[in-house]
Amino acid sequence: MTTIDTVTPTPGRTRRGANGAPDENGPGLRQALLQFASKQYLVAVLIVLCVAVGLAKPSFWGTGNLSNVLFQASFVGLAACGMTLLIAGGLLDLSVGGVIAVSSIAVATVLPHTTIGGAIVLALVIGAVLGLINGLLVTYVKIAPFIATLGTQYLFLGLAFIWTSGKVVPITSSHFRDATTGKLGWLPVPFLVFVVLAVLTFLLLQRTYFGRTVRAFGSNERAAVLAGMPVNRSKVIVFIVAGVCFALAGVFMAGRLSSAEGNMATGFEMNVIAAVVVGGTALRGGRGTMFGTVVGSVLFAVLANALNLLGVASYWQYVLTGAVLIAAIAVGARRSSAAEVRGAG
Amino acid sequence: MSDTIANPSATEALVADERARSAERARRADSRRRLMQNAGVLIPFLIVLIAGLAAVPNFASSSNVTNMLVNAAILAIVGYGMTLVIAVRGIDLSVGSAQALAACVAAAAVNSMGPVVGALVGIAVGAALGLANGLLVTQLRVPGFVATLSTMSVFRGLVLLFTGGAPIMIASVGFKSVATAKVLGIPVPFLVAAALGVAAWFVLDRMRFGKHVVAVGGSPEAAVDTGISVNRVLLLAYLVAGATAGIGGVLLASQLGVVNGSVAAGLELQAIAIVVLGGTSMAGGRPRIVGTFIAALLLTMINSGLNLLNVPSFYQYVALGALLVFALSIDGAQRAAVRRMLEGRHS
């Protein structure tokens, strides 16, 4: 897993991967391994955490519990795929909770009348439309992303409450529940979808012209504009893709709760941003690591599961999520200011 | 080129002319900016006021007016702190959680140590939380909005742990009567808000600290070069935001009489909305306390009007979101207009 720019814009430039892929040189290999280890310290943290929890509570390693952890991780993870794209582009979306609420209410409302596929497509379309609204506000009305989406968060939540009159919309279709909460072997379906989406997002971000544009304006918007890249259009598309990812998370959340309501995902944006940032995607934009996002999502699910197993009050999860997020950003800020020349990666 | 060198007097005349024109442009841009700032909040204020008086029953009844003034006062006090933070290019998303924590700790302290100590403890808690935000931003270099997004979650967790999810009843009648007491027919919280507003205006407009705030918000790099301690200004701004959330929390506890861990959820959005609506630019460097005060009244009138009309409370979410987006578009348009004025017509 590297985050190297494989499409170098000018043929004359040599690749200078600060994150060290084992390129051509033999002696670089050991260094590359070291660099990989220092970069993926999060995996080590995750393993240590799992071992520690496993020692304290052996039931952690039960297949049922592990499958449950992956199940929990996939909701944050699905939304985090879109958020990684946004953050790599120097953008942000705080309206995650609103998008999830509206799209899953749509699923719950239409499900008695249509097929499961139709309902899911409708949810994704709604996610895309809400993302489009965010994108237009940020790009053409020129409102800073985090505050524009803070405003639309309340707009969307208001819409969700008005639509349901504040009630819970139940999902009666057992087929839908089976489809969204089922398992293949012991791997839950949402987790498989999450992995597929993560791979797709990785390819989108690292292997396409669009992804390169996103990273370019995330790193330096003015330079990207001057280079003639379609910055505004790409920004809107990133918001749309993110909206679709959030809606997908909403579909599975609705399946798990077998209902949908306005409050179902309030405060969810914190967990999503935390998973992305802890995974190593820097908030200042310019690069994103999908592998880190996957590890970050699983890490938070393990953490929550551990707290539950250890019988800690669930309120501590608020405190812990916030504290871990601050720590990750503070460490990232220190590392980047100490070691990194901007644009080297 | 050779012309200008040959005719020094002509050069001077040209320079003086250009200088005069640029000064004129700057003056016009400034007056345009002021106009848009004032219009941005005053026109909606008047529309809502007239609509409320005309269409909403009991809008001007004395109990409703008292209620609105108390709500607006609490909102405005938090808004002052937010104005300061936004003026230094920061943002504080944790004010709602900080206010809840301050209100709950104050309520517990009032029950155990008396009203005055309880109120002081509440304000001190708010200030301490603000200090924590400030230290995160200045010492750990965490961007303001994500630092306070995290502390929003942390503080909310702390307040739920503190209360254990149960409501806290305030026993002291004296403490509870503060929010409803009146001096000369005006509720005490409103007088507090007005006094704090005058103080904030004085500090920002007439004292050195205010100039530093404008300098840091306008251009942090330039402020560093002038020898201003940017970190100190930022730290103080976040500290004040926390303290105002604390004062608001104490008044809220006094008004409600019963507080729980989920009070003041979503307050950050209301506070940001009134600040931006009041004409404080998100780009920093332009605090506007009077605008914040008027916008607090405006938002309270909207909420109260919707309540009196029996509109489901969900529509208040939509109204708030729409108001914020409207205020932000005005802010953006205003900046674009000023830039056009300053750069001249042809660019």
Provide the whole-model pTM.
Answer: 0.80
Residue B6 has pLDDT above 60, yes or no: no
Q: Is the dihedral of CA A250, A255, A257, A258 positive or negative?
A: positive
Helix axes B144-163, B95-113, angle to 10 degrees: 30
Q: Give the one of B312, B317, B329 whose C-beta lies nearest to A157's C-beta.
A: B317
Please state, in angstroms and rounded to a whole number, the distance separating the CA atoms of residues A128 and A105: 15
Return the number of CB contacts < 8 Å for A and B.
139
**What SS3 class is residue B309?**
coil
Provide the β-strand partners of residue A247: none
Residues A13, B258: Cα–Cα separation, whole Å: 67
Amino acid at B298: L
Q: How confident is the model at residue A10 (pLDDT cuts 50, 70, 90)?
A: very low
Which of B149, B161, B315 minimises the CB distance to A313? B161
Do A330 and B151 count as a contact with CB atoms less than 8 A apart? Answer: no
A191: domain CATH number is 1.10.3470
Which phi and psi (to 5°) does residue A259 adopt?
-170, 170
Q: Is residue B271 a part of any domain in this protein?
A: yes
| Residues A144, A151: Cα–Cα separation, whole Å | 11
The whole domain housing B156 covers 68-334
pLDDT tens track for A242-258: 999 999 999 999 998 88
Q: Which residue has the tokens 């939509």?
A: B318
**pLDDT exceeds cutoff 80 at B37:** no
The minimal CB distance from B314 to the residues A158, A274, A316 is found for A158
Q: What confidence tier does B130 reach under pLDDT thresholds 50, 70, 90?
A: very high
Nearest to A166 among B314, B321, B324 (CB): B314
> Cα–Cα distance between B152 and B129 in angstroms, integer?
10
Q: Is pLDDT of B221 > 60? A: yes
Low-confidence winner among B39-43, B124-128, B150-154 (lowest mean pLDDT) = B39-43
The chain A residue lying nearest B140, using CA atoms, is A330
Phi/psi at B186 (nearest 5 deg)?
Answer: -110, 130
HSE, side-chain direction, 13 A CA sphere, residue B210: 13
Q: How many CA atoms lie within 13 A of B184 on its CB side?
A: 2
Helix (H, G, I), strand (E, B) or coil at B182: strand
A330 touching B (Cβ < 8 Å): yes
Share of chain A above pLDDT 70, in %: 86
If you write DSSP's letter for every residue of B131-177 in order, what string do you get? Answer: HHHHHHHHTS---HHHHHHHHHHHHHHHHHHHHTT--EE---HHHHH
Rounded to an integer, what is the distance from CA B254 to the centroid of its chain? 21
According to the model, what pLDDT value does residue A335 have?
A: 65
The first and second tokens of residue A265, run together, are 């995902």
Higher pLDDT, A131 or B35: A131
Q: Look at residue B129 and tell me whether its pLDDT is greater than 70.
A: yes
Question: What CA dihedral angle connects B102, A264, B311 and B185, to 10 degrees?
Answer: 0
Q: Is residue B29 included in any domain, yes or no?
A: no
Q: Looking at the domain assignment, is residue A344 inside a domain?
A: no
Domain-located, residue A68:
yes
Please report the pLDDT score of residue A250 as a whole number.
93
| Spatial contact of A73 and A191, defined as CB atoms under 8 Å apart | yes
d(CA B276, CA B279): 5
- Give helix A290-309 / helix A63-88 axis angle, nearest 10°: 140
Is residue A338 scored above 70 in pLDDT? Answer: no
pLDDT score at B178:
79
**B140–A326 C-beta distance less than 8 A:** yes
Q: Which two tokens stand for residue A36?
A: 């990989």
User: Does any CB of chain B come closer than 8 Å to the CB of residue A273?
Assistant: yes
Which amino acid would we find at residue A178? D
Contact A158 B143 (CB under 8 A): no
Q: Write down the pLDDT at residue A334.
A: 67
Please return the burial class of A116, using the count of CB atoms within 10 Å of its CB with bins 0-12, 13-18 and 19+: middle
Q: At how many degrees (to 10) do helices A63-88 and A268-278 cross?
A: 80
For residue A273, list chain B residues with Cβ-Cβ distance below 8 A. Answer: 146, 149
Q: What are phi and psi of A282, to 5 degrees?
A: -75, 140
Structure tokens at A231: 């910055």
Q: Find the mean pLDDT for residues A154-168.
A: 88
Residue B238 belongs to domain with CATH number: 1.10.3470
**Domain residues for A180?**
64-339
Evaluate if residue B260 carries a pLDDT over 90.
no
Any chain B CB within 8 A of the CB of A134? no
In the beta sheet, which residues pair with residue A259? A170
How many angstroms separate the CA of residue A274 from the nearest CA in chain B? Answer: 9
Interface test with A, best of B142, B160, B330 (most A CBs within 10 A): B142
> To the nearest whole percent, how much of chain A has pLDDT over 90?
35
Helical ranges in A23-165 per DSSP H? 28-39, 41-56, 63-88, 96-110, 116-139, 145-164
- Cβ <8 Å between B325 and A143: yes
CA-CA-CA-CA torsion sign (A292, A294, A297, A300): negative
| Residue whose tokens read 């049922």 | A64
- Rounded to a whole number of angstroms, the distance from the CA of B320 to the nearest CA of chain A is 7
Q: State the pLDDT confidence band at A39, using cuts at 50, 70 and 90.
A: low
B165 touches A: beta carbon within 8 Å: yes
Q: Closest residue of A to B162, CA-based?
A: A315
Nearest to B317 among A154, A317, A323 (CB): A154
Rounded Cα–Cα distance for residues B287 and B11 (Å) = 40
**Angle ∠(B194,B197,B202) on CA atoms, nearest 5:** 130
Read off the pLDDT of each residue in A54-72 and give the average, rounded to a whole number: 88
Determine, for residues B161 and A317 on separate chains, whether the beta-carbon distance falls below 8 Å.
no
Task: From chain A, pick out residues whose CB is under 8 angstroms from the CB of B317.
Answer: 154-155, 157-158, 161
- Distance from C-alpha of A258 to C-alpha of A176, rounded to nearest angstrom: 9
d(CA A327, CA A299): 14
| pLDDT at res. A343 | 39
* Among A residues 238-267, those touching chain B with beta carbons less than 8 Å apart: 262, 267
CA distances in angstroms from B8 to B11, B17, B20, B21, B70, listed in the order given: 5, 14, 18, 20, 66
B258-259 and B168-169 beta bridge pairing? antiparallel
How many domains in chain B?
1
Q: What is the mean pLDDT of chain A?
A: 83
Tokens standing for B93?
A: 């998303």
What residues of chain B lie within 8 A of the CB of A270, using their CB?
149-150, 152-153
Residues with Cβ within 8 Å of B140's Cβ and at least 6 positions away in sequence, in order, are A326, A329, A330, A333, B147
Residues 20-59 of A with CB under 8 A from B: none
Closest residue of chain A to B91, computed from CA coordinates: A147
Is A329 within 8 Å of B153 when comparing Cβ atoms?
Answer: no
Mutate to test the interface with B, among A93, A142, A147, A164 (most CBs of B within 10 A): A147
Determine contact: B339 vs chain A, CB below 8 A: no
A151 and B328 within 8 Å at the Cβ level: the answer is yes
| B318 Cα to chain A: minimum distance (Å) | 5
For chain A, what is the radius of gyration of the CA atoms?
Answer: 20
Tokens coding A286:
């310019």
- Average pLDDT (A125-134) is 95
Lowest mean pLDDT among B59-68, B227-236, B324-333: B324-333
Q: Report CA Rg, chain B.
A: 23
The per-residue pLDDT of chain B, averaged, comes to: 85
Contact A151 B325 (CB under 8 A): yes
User: Could you give the angle at the alpha carbon of A183 between the alpha carbons of A179 and A186, nearest 5°?
Assistant: 175
**CB-CB neighbours of A25 under 10 Å:** 9
Which of A231-245, A331-345, B106-120, B142-156 is the least confident region? A331-345
Q: Is A184's Cβ below 8 Å from some Cβ in B?
A: no
Q: Residue B280's closest CA among B82, B42, B143, B147?
A: B82
**Into how many domains does chain A fold?**
1
Contact B145, A146 (CB under 8 A): yes
Q: In chain B, which residues have their Cβ closer than 8 Å to the Cβ of A153?
A: 321
Pairwise CA distance, residues A76 & A268, whole Å = 8
Q: What is the pLDDT of residues A79-118, one digit of tens each?
A: 999 999 999 998 989 899 999 999 999 999 998 888 888 9
pLDDT of B293 reads 92
B140: chain A residues, CB-CB within 8 Å: 326, 329-330, 333
- Would the CB atoms of B161 and A321 count as touching at under 8 Å? no
- Tell me whether residues B149 and A151 touch, CB distance under 8 A: no
Do the domain assignments include residue B59? no
What residues are paired with A170 via a beta bridge?
A: A259
Q: Cα(A227)–Cα(B205) distance, rounded to whole angstroms?
A: 43
